[in-house]
Amino acid sequence: MNIIIFGPPGAGKGTQSKFIANKFNLYQLSTGDLLREEIKNKTKLGSEISSIINSGELVSDKIVSNLIEKFISNNTFKNKIIFDGYPRTLNQARNLDDLLKKYVQKIDVVLKLSVSLETVIKRILERKTLEQRADDNKEIAIKRFKTYEKSSETVIDYYKQSNLLKVVNGEAGISEINAEISEIIHAIKG
């Protein structure tokens, strides 16, 4: 089973992905984590993308596409991926479909975590004290939320059309969201 977890920054995508990965024996593919790893390791790519990430914009589709193909093409992860933070644009959604076709896989469900800007800011400021992410401050959080709003509608419509979209109330507590997501996945697994 391959799952997409979708939602604005601070929606709880990472937290929920880790939970789902553990519970259902899947692998979390967080493009944000992979990109931050490049910055931390001071790679060439890392130096190209750090200012983009820290301004709350999206890095290019090509860069993230290369990162996810490495994952999708690896047999260890075949049909066991939770896409956390990818796709974020319609172009990425289409590209993901092409890649999945190439490696004979598909998406089983898209979980959309719905949260307000107010909640996003509150959570990001809480997370800042724990993770010290350079892009976790109020101003950049608002910018990231706006970046999300700009492209999310078309991505959501895309998955609505293919009947894969399930909306989850991201305002609820972590364990309530865990429970709702588990129910959805159990229903799909049958």
Residues of this chain that bind ligand AMP (CB under 6 A): 9, 31-32, 35, 52-53, 56-59, 64, 85-86, 88, 92, 144
DSSP-based three-state secondary structure for 19: helix
In angstroms, give the least distance from the CB of 184 to ligand AMP.
Answer: 21
In angstroms, give the least distance from the CB of 77 to ligand AMP.
Answer: 17
Instruction: Give the C-alpha separation, 182 to 122, whole Å.
Output: 26
In angstroms, give the least distance from the CB of 104 to ligand AMP.
Answer: 23
DSSP-based three-state secondary structure for 113: strand
Judged by beta carbon, residue 60 or residue 73, the one nearer ligand AMP is: 60
**Contact residues for 165 (Cβ-Cβ < 8 A; gap 6+):** 110, 112, 156, 159
Judged by beta carbon, residue 52 or residue 167, the one nearer ligand AMP is: 52
Instruction: Give the C-alpha separation, 10 to 143, whole Å.
Output: 13
In angstroms, give the least distance from the CB of 180 to ligand AMP.
Answer: 21
Judged by beta carbon, residue 88 or residue 123, the one nearer ligand AMP is: 88
Task: State both tokens at 39.
Answer: 């910055």
Instruction: Give the C-alpha separation, 136 to 41, whole Å.
Output: 20
Judged by beta carbon, residue 86 or residue 159, the one nearer ligand AMP is: 86
Task: State both tokens at 48.
Answer: 């190209």
In angstroms, give the least distance from the CB of 59 to ligand AMP.
Answer: 4
Closest residue to ligand AMP using C-beta atoms: 32
Task: State both tokens at 124.
Answer: 């990001």
Judged by beta carbon, residue 26 or residue 64, the one nearer ligand AMP is: 64
